[in-house]
Amino acid sequence: MVKEAFDIDALIERHGRERSSLIPLLQEIQSELGYVPKEAIKAVARELDIFEVEVYEVLTFYAQFRLTPRGKHVIKVCLGTACHVMGGQDIFNYVSQVLGVSAGETTKDGTFTLERVACLGCCGMAPVVAIDDQVHGRQTISKVEKLLREHAANDVGKGEHVTKDAK
């Protein structure tokens, strides 16, 4: 379950109102909630007396920050060189199409988050996909479809995401 609340007063008390507090504030909010919601961006901008766009600039510059909550299952499709050569991009495109999300996005019901990664450290098993940090090597579209179905089936009423046919 995604937590929605953050205590901006307590955060400011811990980190202060200096411009240099911006990243520590955002890091703590993300650590608490799993992402940095719009309300937090507004509150941080107000408390530090800076424009919201400045907060967005920091959030989008650093890959560590997320603007949307993570899903129950995180799917990482490797697009490193070895995986790319072995068809990783086709797998990524398939998962993206089936779930209806792009890299870094989460399905509307919060079941799946799709991520693209540069290397999962097991290039000999390319192409590689990890779901919830469990690595699956030598993937094909039909194997990935099966993985998605299995994970969706474990979530009652959430199977509607993986109903498209593999190509």
Q: Is 3 exposed, middle or buried (0-12, 13-18, 19+ CB in 10 A)?
A: exposed
136 binds ligand FES (CB under 6 A): no
| Segment holding 95, helix H or strand E | helix 88-99
d(CA 121, CA 123): 6
119 binds ligand FES (CB under 6 A): yes
Segment interacting with ligand FES (CB under 6 A) among 12-20, 23-31, 47-55, 78-86: 78-86
Q: Which of 12, 103, 122, 166 binds ligand FES (CB under 6 A)?
A: 122
48 vs 128, which CB is nearer to ligand FES? 128
80 binds ligand FES (CB under 6 A): yes
d(CA 46, CA 13): 15
Peptide bond before 37: cis, by omega within 30 degrees of 0? no
Following CA atoms 140, 141, 147, 149 in sequence, which dihedral angle do they give, to the nearest 10 degrees?
-160
Asked if 144 and 137 count as a contact pair (C-beta separation under 8 A), the reply is: no
129 binds ligand FES (CB under 6 A): no
Q: Smallest Cα–Cα separation from 122: which of 141, 133, 135?
A: 135
CB of 119 to ligand FES, least distance (A): 4
128 binds ligand FES (CB under 6 A): yes
CB of 162 to ligand FES, least distance (A): 23
Q: Which of 43, 120, 130, 148 binds ligand FES (CB under 6 A)?
A: 120
131 binds ligand FES (CB under 6 A): no
Segment interacting with ligand FES (CB under 6 A) among 41-49, 103-111, 116-124, 156-164: 116-124
Query: What residue ranges bind ligand FES (CB under 6 A)?
Result: 78, 80-83, 119-123, 126, 128
